[in-house]
Structure 1
Amino acid sequence: MLQRYKNILVPIDGSYEAELAFKKAVEVAKRNGKETKLQLVHVVDTRAFQNISSFDTAMVEQVTETARKTMDGYVKEAKEAGLENISYSVEYGAPKVIIAKDLPKELGTDLIMIGATGLNAVERLLIGSVTEYVTRTADCDVLVVRTDLDNKPALSKEQRKGFQRKD
């Protein structure tokens, strides 16, 4: 029997890896039928604001507005690809826990499609990889996307330098 995913979660952080995960998630959702829901999420890591002495709510509002515009572009692209059941949220807190635990439980996620980390070994050791944490602790299936839609290796760091999504 073919596994059908009904609720796919895709974390979006503006990276090239997240872009690959999104594109593959759209294709998986299309193959799994109209009842499949594609839930996109952008997590604003609030810990990044803790060290700013003059914390300004306008800064958070600006980050949120930028995230919403980016997510609107992803929703538009998914609809143009033929999906109907798409939504997104902008969350605040620790990305690892929100993506691996909180949202899947809240949304009934049965598949998380996440981009492979771009961190090097030293960075992973010091701060840890969100992708690594999600694959290790999520209760649902996790697909780590490392290739493009043709299953060709993703661009190298040098090749994707300056990657920016065009909405």
Structure 2
Amino acid sequence: MTGFYPIINLMGNTKLFVIVLAPQSSMNGGKAMLQEYKKIMVGIDGSVESANAFDRAVAVALRNDAELLLVNIIDLRAFQSISTYDTMVAEDTKKGAEQLIADFAEEAKRAGITKIQTRVEFGSPKVMMATTVPKEENVDLIMIGATGLSYIERLFIGSVAQYVTAHAKCDILIVR
């Protein structure tokens, strides 16, 4: 077998992760094929892990002259504890996320990335990062930070990284 395959850790060790490459044609005469990416999506949530994913995404985008798509998905479940849904809270949250994404976009620009797109959306981070946004934006590489969830948290709610690994149709790089 050729290519990269996910390493699955069933014991809950958080020191894993994975590069998952979508299947490719073997019409290259048995030589290693370098993937060229045109559009790289990176999830930005303000965590150290997402900043690490951003740094790696900038490097890959520069090598590939690729467009960088910076995405922040605001989890609607965060508003369930608010007794009466307050649109001001949602608007303030979105403004904060937009500022976060704008700061990262500016950093990417300073690093030499010329094609930058940003998206801030409300929804399920898992679904939006794994399927919705990549399909709408024609993404060919998703880069996200590994989660800091404990084994119990992953067991009951799962991580965005795990969900993306299982459901995305393009290449994925999960960064620690």
Deviations 1:35-74 (A, max 9, x none): x110010001112212321210000000011111111110
Matching of residue 10 in structure 1 with residue 39 in structure 2: no
- Matched residue type, 1:3: Q
Which residue, 59, 69, 76 being the options, matches 2:106? 76
Structure showing greater radius of gyration is 2
Which residue, 151, 158, 172 being the options, matches 1:121? 151
The alignment's TM-score, normalised by the length of structure 1, stands at 0.84
- What is the count of residue pairs matched by the alignment? 144
Q: Distance in 1 between matches of 2:34 and 2:175?
A: 20
Deviations 1:66-106 (A, max 9, x none): 11111111010000000110111101111100000000100
For the residue of structure 2 that corresponds to 1:52, the secondary structure is coil
Q: Distance in 2 between matches of 1:116 and 1:136?
A: 14
Matching of residue 55 in structure 1 with residue 78 in structure 2: no
Sequence identity (%): 53
For the residue of structure 2 that corresponds to 1:99, the secondary structure is helix
**Superposed structure 1 runs of 4+ greater than 4 Å apart:** none
- 1:130 corresponds to: 160
- Matched residue type, 2:47: S
Matching of residue 31 in structure 1 with residue 67 in structure 2: no
For the residue of structure 2 that corresponds to 1:136, the secondary structure is helix
Q: Any stretches of 5+ residues in structure 1 without a counterpart?
A: 147-167
Q: Distance in 2 between matches of 1:68 and 1:89?
A: 8
- Provide the aligned C-alpha RMSD in A: 0.8
The alignment's TM-score, normalised by the length of structure 2, stands at 0.80
CA deviation after TM superposition for structure 1 residue 143, in Å: 0.4
Q: Distance in 1 between matches of 2:117 and 2:137?
A: 11
